[in-house]
Structure 1
Amino acid sequence: MTSSWVPGPELAWQLHAECPDACILFQSVRDDAGTLLDFQATALNPAAVALVKGLAPGPSPGPSPGPSLSSWAGVLRGLPERSALGRVVDSGTPLSFEVHGRLDGAERWFRARVLGRGDGFSLWLSDITEVFAERHVLREELHKERTARAREEHLRLALETARMVTWEWSEARLTLLWSPNAEAFFGHPPGGLGDTLESFLERVLPGEWTRVAEAFLQGLCAEGPYTFQFRAPWPDGTLRCYELVGQTYRENGRPTRMLGVVMDCTERECSQAALREAEERYRLVSWATNDVLWDWNPSGEHIHWGEACRTVFGYAPEEMGGISWWEQQLHPDDRELVMRSLEHVLGSGGESWLAEYRFRRKDGTYVHVLDRGMVARDAQGRTARMLGSMMDITERKRAVERMQEEAQFRERFIGILGHDLRNPLNAIMLSARQLRRRETMPSVPQLAQRIDASAARMGNMISDILDLTRARLSGGIPLHLAPTSLPAVCRQVVEELTVAHPGRDILVEAEGRGEGIWDPERLAQVVSNLVGNALEHGEREGPVFVRCRDEGEQQVLEISNPGTPIPGHLLATLFDPFRQVGAARSGRGSGLGLGLFIVRELVEAHGGQVKVRSTEEEGTTFTVMLPRDARALARGDGGALAEEAHTG
């Protein structure tokens, strides 16, 4: 920065060369109409020259002050608006304010005075940085003092409201100081508590002296807040219960000070003791019955629920609502029948009620409950109260359903072993006998082909039955996860199926990389089953499309074919075992109706899901959605085996 614009000594007025304050003369800059546009600096005294040189120095200086007032506003923050300075020029009224800026790299504060001078003004700047700093410190100290007084007043009011006293123990003085209300708090006359720990212990119930003294010593060593209770007799013979809360402060690792409060908790302890006794009786009754107990006055809405609702339904007792809320938690299919039976008991003068229904838990699932109630009536026969219990019978219902399902499964399984597997086995045996008797017959190739096809069909049956058994009885189909390319798996399966189905078009389309952590053999089984299903049940001349694409954190596989859509009533059970939409044309596969069931089990074992859409216009499309990494999402024991196989 230069000061070449500073006028020389030829000015008509003399600036005070020896004055410590900086002075700059500014002249008004106006247009032809006399409108004030700006102010132009015309002269500086030596102190102002030094100020100009020192403003905003450094390697990356900001704007430097120049002749115009606007350039000074960039380095001296706090200058008035041009209009305010114009009023000083017009009226001659002086103006005072404070400004600040960086001088030689340090922040400095100045008291500024503006004095009118002709069609301009003189700006005097006095450095008040030290005064400003002292004033700032003083303001902070005053603020801290006011804050401390406010806190002390708040503490006093809080102690009076909460019926507490404060205490302080100091190692330097070895004294125990109490707040002024301590004697009245403990029922003693002024000075009755003393100022030592020993004098305080004398007021404690004699049988608790040792325990209270040890509690103080433990608090002295504690790292954070600590608390303990004690009892003390009053002069009138009554026994009061108190709770002490304290905090130990240290210097250089040594405890030097202890602070805390004491609260009178006598009434609270009495109430809690009575409440604990009543709750214990109620809890014992609830545990003995293992039911959710309930108590309802039919003239009102409220129901009192037992504690067991936490474990049975997932609700805290206070979260369980009244009779209307209970009605809304009933399964929609059970609600009408249950409410009708309850209303019948209440209206007919009955004394007992029994219902079995499904009740919604907090997590949204339903449990089967057996609800039993007894009706209490007044002398006029009106319902006064109804008490009962709800028993969770979900496991019992599931056990019965599992037994029925297993019985049906065993019957179907035995039927398969006794009938479906016997037919291809008989064909193999008969063909083999004919081959042994007539070795030179021209039909030997046909017989051999029949043996091969029947054996392959039996192999498919056995594989499907093994997968079915694993899925139903062994906790899931095991996986062997590894980095896999889904498009590569699809192309390999399609090549194999094209050989078995010459003349059929199977088109593979892939978008994205299609890579993930999956079981390649099981994915090949999924693709083979779905493509084979499309070949068997789609249009004979129609193409089959196999599409792979990335979709966020999922990989999507779509297999579609034109043809007659699957009937709507069959879609809900399409993935159930032993389900077949129609007869296969080629006899490929096991013929047991397990293909789609195994597809679903394998996809869900990977943590994914499979869906089907079938319409007259679009044909049938099976959509498989797989997570990118099946290790974290693989299901059940199969997922555990998969993770072990991958990491092993």
Structure 2
Amino acid sequence: MTSSFWSLAPYGLVLLRLAANSPTPLQEALWIQANSATRRLVPDAHLFLGLHLRDLGDKGEPFVRELLRWEEAFKSQGSLSTELSHGEGEARVVIHVDAHPRAGHLLLWLRDITAERRELESLRRERELFQRVIHCASDAIFAKDLDGRYTLINPAGARAMGASPVDIIGHGDQDIFLPEDASATRAHDQEVLAAQRPLTYEDEDLAGQRVWLSTKGVLRDEKTGAVTGLFGISRDITERKRLERALQESEARYRLVARATRDVLWDWNLGSGEMNWSTALGEVFGEVPEEGSASLGWWRERIHLDDQPRALRALHAAMEGRDDHWSSEYRFRRADGTYAWVLERGYIDRSPEGRPERLIGAMMDVSEHKRREEETAREARLVERVLGIVSHDLGSPLSAIRLSAQMLAQAPNLTPAQRTALSRIEETTRRVTRLTHQMLDSVRARDGNLPVVRRDTDLEQVCRRVLDEFTAIYPRRPLQLTVEGNTQGHWDADRLAQVFSNLVGNALEHGDESRPITIQIWDAAGVQRLEVNSQGKPIDAALLPHLFEPFRSGGHGAHRASGRGVGLGLFIVRELVRAHQGEVEVRSSPEEGTTFALVLPRHAPGATDAPDA
């Protein structure tokens, strides 16, 4: 080997002298010579001249220690071709070694294959990562050859096809799917192969149960660029399509509701500040904000100045609180400058942490309703003033008529017809007197001045006195009283007698004459309970919420408190019970009949006591 080749060779060259007939030829080999290329692979090679490999190995020289590991292989084969490495991490060097004996010497050819091994290792890791990604992917990933046979399928794809990967690889779509589905899939494949570029499409199976979003592309030979097959990724978008359809249907319903109700709907995104209004805004108020100007400020500017603080407080209180709903009434300016009364109701969409993210509201024009309320209130005030005047001015004439009738009834030698007439006069006067008292009480109740003077009272005794009076008037109508527990309390006995008399008279007037009127009084957790029940036609469910309102006379089967004629009795009953800080309610059904139920606290705080005698 010429000296020029020895010095210029791109490979590392090492010449070792072998010990004759040695049982360990490598260990006894003497390091004779190494070219300059060797030092790039074994940096300390120039220090090894004249040393045995055994001694270098004992000193821990990494290259030599790796070489000596192949002692037995060299002895058995007479030559050596292997890979050695030394160093760690980025400093690791991989060397391919070819060893050939010649004339008592051993020539080592050293080639640096570190870059090749790093590239192979990188490819191995990439392939392993690729396989792991494919294996773990939730999308179906596959590859096919030009004949349509599967060459790759991941577990998600196999599950979607309802088979195992072993049963899919090497088979075509015609072996896996129904003929119609297989034909449609093959048509897509041909389209991709013809276009020779990736294509994306949606595909629904014939049963209509699953929808897939698929992207397919061609596979090419790395050297020739020829198309060798195709690959694809398919995602099950059935749920997404269902949600899209549901969203479309919801939006359609929203538009229909907005048109049907004529409510002005708005949607405020707190994150972006964007505020959207329904088209009813222009129809109801005659004004539509310009593009981009439909902000909270635009809405606030159109609220009447007197109502702004209250409306904004209601909105901010709802946003800062825990409730998801709010409502408020205020005046909103129309395009012509006039104001409409609106009832606004809204919903707050919150984040999982409870922060408001979106507000949705509906504004209803209630101007006409407000106008009717004001007219009704004016009429009611007028009626109350008239009732107050009439009930006050009738008091003295009625007393005079009754006293006169009583005096005339004491006269001797009256005929039966005369006595009957006087009795009728006195009864009629008493009835009209009750009506005037009711009218006066209704005016006082409206003004909050219904007098109630409390003293120690036995409710049972009050009720029995009233029942005695009704028994005398209605001897054929059974009245059944049941009493349990304590009936003592701090009440106005006369007012409670008025309440009880109204309810019993009401039951007698509207109840079934063949069925008894039942009254129950009992102690319940420290409060007094009283119920009056009558059988007969139930009260219309539509009238129940309004039964205690003044001037509610109702139609056939409707109930009014006894005394009867102007619809004030049950209103006065409610106000007298409230004056005792109690509650009254009514329930009515064909099975139970009609029941008026009272709850009275025994000792109400802040009550006015009767003065000492």
Structure number with greater Rg is: 2
TM-score (ref. length: structure 2): 0.39
TM-score (ref. length: structure 1): 0.37
